[in-house]
Structure 1
Amino acid sequence: MSEAKFRTLARKVRNQIELGHYKESSKLPTHRALAKEYGTTPMTAAKAYQLLAEQGHIESHVGRGSFVKKDASLKHVIRSRHDQNEWNFSILQPCLGEHLDSLNTELKDCFSNINDPALFGYIEETGDRTHKDAGKTWMSHYGLDIDEPEQVLLTNGAQHALSTLIQCYSEPGDNIAVEALTYPGILSIIQSLGRHSIEVEMDDKGMCPKALKKACREQAPAVVIVIPSHQNPTTITMPKARREALAKVINKEQLWLIEDDLYAFLNDEKIEPICNLSKDRGFYVSSLSKAISPGIRCGYIKTPTSQTERLASFIRTSIWLTAPLMFEFASRLIQSKKAFEYASLQKRIAESRQKIAADVLNEFTLTSQASSYHIWLTLPDGLQARDFVTVAKDKGLIISSGQFFSHTQGESSVRLSLMAIADENRFVEGLNALKSLLQDSVRT
């Protein structure tokens, strides 16, 4: 069987799905019918369906056939719009109620005092050295080793950083190793760029080194992406020993590492990043979105010394440079230490919210950490995440199905963000509504 044939067929079926020829939740043709329609064999059709299932476009059931999956695009996973009639437990962001006035004052003060004309024009080398130095200060504060500010490259947030790195260090058709449950933004980037995600087994300490080694030998991924702190969605923070073990595999197998460490500020103490242990292969990604505000689209990549110019050139080619004015604001927050004060405040709020959630939802199975922004909730026996999320939405509860975080897992779990609802009374009200819905679902 030609690999090209089944991949070509899969692409044609996916195009038909995207064009609306095959509707959401509709049943797809049988293997034999699809093969007849496209002039190929049932075995090729079966292989094409298998690939589409692995990529998350369809789902197959023995005896029932194959069906188009419901839309799992980011707009359905994450709801950022605030509605006074809803409780948004979907999006992971800082709790903006506490420091919004202070942040607004800082922003006004910054932009009323900018007198450097260079910030209004083009800046060479993909960003001002002062802004790179601020990024160095931010990441170093949480344990990253950086020799020179020139190793810091600026991006329009972490999502842009991830997309840039995947494009620069892999080719269409390449395999990208990810945690078995991971942030849907990563899966979306991989899919949209024509790469394939490989789900690597996890345990209670994070990605398993032996499983990564096996994936390298069997599927030869070009890149591995890891979220080492307060992992999204499981909340796992890798201990030092696990990070060391992963670094050994990455170094031996000559993988490119993308360490997505946006939540390092929530750790109780510094934990050495994997990139410190894999300096020649690791790219460390950070931003201010989770610690301060998503509206500050300021991301940072710490690069291996040997890769700085290559990646800088790629960024320069694609966007020329990030917005200097926003990085000036971010840099002033970092230099004045305000950024670290805001981050510490968010950590305290997260700790308080975790205690409240643990108390309200104490009869259910939760995976969390004392300062995580979210909770991974295992649904009671008999409940399916997709069905429960739909019922919850009808009650005004916006939550994220576990199936959005994996092509093969998460059917019985949901992720709950604890920070998007700014008002604490409203937050508690929402948790109690969720508790009641869970109890009612069990009874019925």
Structure 2
Amino acid sequence: MLRRPAYLSLADQYARAIGEGHLPAGTRLPPQRKLADDLGLSVQTVSRAYDELIRRGLIVGEVGRGSFVLPAGAENSPPYLAERPGELIDLSILKPVTDRMHVERFREGLHWIADNLTGAAALSFRPNSVLPRHRQIAADWLRRGGIDTAPDCITIADGATSAITTAVMSAVPPGGTLAAAALTHHLLMPLCKYLGLHLEALPIDDDGILPEALDALARKGNLRAVYMQPAAINPMAIMTGENRRAALAEIARRHDLLIVENDMLNQMIVDRPPTMAALAPERTLHINGFTKTTLPGLRIAWLVSPPRLAAGTANRHLVTNWMATPAMVELLSHWILDGTVDQLIEWQREALGIRHRIAREVLGAGAFRAHPQSLHVWLELPPGRDEEEFVAQARQRGVAIASGRAFRLGERDRREAVRIALGSTGTEELRHGLTLVAETLGSNAEPLLPLV
């Protein structure tokens, strides 16, 4: 028996059935139109109920397949270890390669801040009083990467997470739909839940999001934007080619969709194709940062907005973050002007080349997916191997890696896989950790016995 409002009552009943185990993970819910006919409800009422279940993190929608029950606690499963792993070799957290040099550079940078920090940066509460010069430096840097934007269209944020949150809030209103690749940023799912957004999974191939899938979803209505990671920062380290990017940009233009582009590796990528911001500047919110290409402590990212969205984007950043930390903005700008950022990026590129060579030597050149400048490799498991059990078995051997589950929006075309970070430890530890992964691959796929 449904109470009013009917959509909320229906959602509550489904939530209760999921919570009590009557609808286990992976269960496909009835098509919305069929359920509406069976219950004598409107399709809009059922659609609102499903949207509410998505908002609660209980189900996920998949393009062309329907809606499915998520595993319990799915949003609370980060791909990395939340704390230092003790004796474990930690290949679970995505970090740039670092050594003692980075600590020394950062110390030198902080000394420079101490000697050169302006009164405005130390004392002002007004972003527009502190950051105009830094926005101009950002615009000049972005222009080197093919993105021509005005300084007033740049929001400076404390890292990529802040920029992604601001961009998604600016692109999709509450109750709207955001689409993303079936394997995507692990924080996008809880973010959409908290913002009350409907998140749809788009199928992918070796070149990224399938244009025909985006077109089909857009034709259904309510889709407002698509989130993209086209340049090797995505879980499979795919580098989407220029033709595919152009096709996706044209579909977005045809359906008046906004694009949220996460481009955190930006100029570290050699011979990268034009960004979505260059191909469709009138509709792309572009995120460009430095924690993955220089050093983790430089937590600054730039969010580039189309002119028509710039004021709204700035307002949403004010509401959620107010302003980036001025001292770090000062340091980034100084390091851009004196060439330090370019030096750190070149160092990182060379260091990753060594790490990828080690991965090929230990795991085999064709055993995984990667890009020469990616911070990780994506290892698909042999048939019959379960990724959660594989992660647990590897951890018993002494190495932590990330399960593919944390990045997966749905179960369509699922292939068991793990992500292995290359920059989170020293080269010898990396070699040993990859050897432990290889040994786990070569061992029998026997389930772990419960500890008693």
Task: Name the TM-score, length of structure 1 as normaliser.
Answer: 0.85
Deviations 1:306-350 (A, max 9, x none): 222222222223333221111111111111110111111111111
**Residue 267 in structure 1 maps to residue 269 in structure 2:** yes
- Residue among 414, 417, 423 paired with 1:419: 423
Relative to 1, partners in 2 of residues 1:291 and 1:385: Cα closer, same or farther, differing over 3 Å?
same
Q: Is the 8 A contact 1:156 1:297 kept in 2?
A: yes
- Residue among 428, 434, 438 paired with 1:431: 434
Relative to 1, partners in 2 of residues 1:14 and 1:139: Cα closer, same or farther, differing over 3 Å?
farther
Q: 1:129 corresponds to which letter in structure 2?
A: P
**Residue 122 in structure 1 maps to residue 116 in structure 2:** no
- What is the CA distance between 1:53 and its match in structure 2? 7.9
- Residue among 327, 331, 343 paired with 2:333: 331
Show the counterpart of 1:145: 148
Per mean C-alpha deviation after superposition, the further-off stretch among 300-309 and 126-135 is: 126-135
Q: Could you tell me which runs of 5 or more consecutive residues in structure 1 were left unpaired when the two chains were aligned.
A: 32-39, 60-65
Deviations 1:96-129 (A, max 9, x none): 2253233223323222212410011223438511
Q: Is the 8 A contact 1:373 1:417 kept in 2?
A: yes
Q: Is the 8 A contact 1:385 1:411 kept in 2?
A: no
Does the residue aligned with 2:260 lie in a helix, a strand or coil?
A: strand
**Residue 221 in structure 1 maps to residue 223 in structure 2:** yes
Deviations 1:212-254 (A, max 9, x none): 1111002531111111100410111111111111111111111
Q: 1:205 corresponds to which letter in structure 2?
A: D
Q: Is the 8 A contact 2:78 2:406 kept in 1?
A: no
**Residue 27 in structure 1 maps to residue 21 in structure 2:** yes
Deviations 1:284-327 (A, max 9, x none): 11111111223222110111112222222222233332211111
Does the residue aligned with 1:177 lie in a helix, a strand or coil?
A: strand
Q: Distance in 1 between matches of 2:141 and 2:367?
A: 35
Q: 2:96 corresponds to which letter in structure 1?
A: P
- What is the CA distance between 1:359 and its match in structure 2? 1.5
Does the residue aligned with 1:300 lie in a helix, a strand or coil?
A: strand
Q: Is the 8 A contact 1:127 1:321 kept in 2?
A: no
Q: Distance in 1 between matches of 2:278 and 2:3?
A: 43
Q: Is the 8 A contact 2:375 2:422 kept in 1?
A: yes
Does the residue aligned with 2:83 lie in a helix, a strand or coil?
A: coil
- What is the CA distance between 1:385 and its match in structure 2? 0.9
- What is the CA distance between 1:417 and its match in structure 2? 0.9
**Residue 172 in structure 1 maps to residue 166 in structure 2:** no
Relative to 1, partners in 2 of residues 1:11 and 1:407: Cα closer, same or farther, differing over 3 Å?
farther
Q: Distance in 1 between matches of 2:357 and 2:82?
A: 24
Q: Distance in 2 between matches of 1:74 and 1:289?
A: 24
Q: 1:176 corresponds to which letter in structure 2?
A: L
Show the counterpart of 1:10: 11
Task: State the Cα RMSD in Å.
Answer: 3.3
Relative to 1, partners in 2 of residues 1:139 and 1:427: Cα closer, same or farther, differing over 3 Å?
same
Q: 2:58 corresponds to which letter in structure 1?
A: H
Q: 1:435 corresponds to which letter in structure 2?
A: A
Show the counterpart of 2:108: 106
Show the counterpart of 2:31: none
- Residue among 278, 281, 284 paired with 1:282: 284
Q: Percent of aligned pairs with the same residue?
A: 22
**Residue 250 in structure 1 maps to residue 252 in structure 2:** yes
- What is the CA distance between 1:49 and its match in structure 2? 8.4
Show the counterpart of 1:184: 186
Q: Distance in 1 between matches of 2:362 and 2:111?
A: 41
Q: Distance in 2 between matches of 1:408 and 1:322?
A: 34
Q: How does 1:334-353 map to 2 (within 5 A)?
A: 334-353=336-355
Show the counterpart of 1:57: 58
Q: Is the 8 A contact 1:126 1:316 kept in 2?
A: no
Relative to 1, partners in 2 of residues 1:16 and 1:117: Cα closer, same or farther, differing over 3 Å?
farther
Q: 1:10 corresponds to which letter in structure 2?
A: A
Does the residue aligned with 1:293 lie in a helix, a strand or coil?
A: coil
Q: Distance in 1 between matches of 2:259 and 2:386?
A: 34
Does the residue aligned with 1:81 lie in a helix, a strand or coil?
A: coil
Q: Distance in 2 between matches of 1:217 and 1:391?
A: 44
Q: Could you tell me which runs of 5 or more consecutive residues in structure 2 were left unpaired when the two chains were aligned.
A: 28-35, 61-67, 448-452
Q: Distance in 2 between matches of 1:104 and 1:323?
A: 16
Task: Name the TM-score, length of structure 2 as normaliser.
Answer: 0.83
Relative to 1, partners in 2 of residues 1:401 and 1:305: Cα closer, same or farther, differing over 3 Å?
same
Q: Is the 8 A contact 2:163 2:287 kept in 1?
A: yes
Q: Distance in 1 between matches of 2:51 and 2:304?
A: 37
Q: 1:357 corresponds to which letter in structure 2?
A: A
Per mean C-alpha deviation after superposition, the further-off stretch among 231-240 and 314-323 is: 314-323
**Residue 203 in structure 1 maps to residue 197 in structure 2:** no
Show the counterpart of 1:400: 402
Number of residues paired by the alignment? Answer: 421
Q: Is the 8 A contact 2:158 2:299 kept in 1?
A: yes
Relative to 1, partners in 2 of residues 1:364 and 1:5: Cα closer, same or farther, differing over 3 Å?
farther
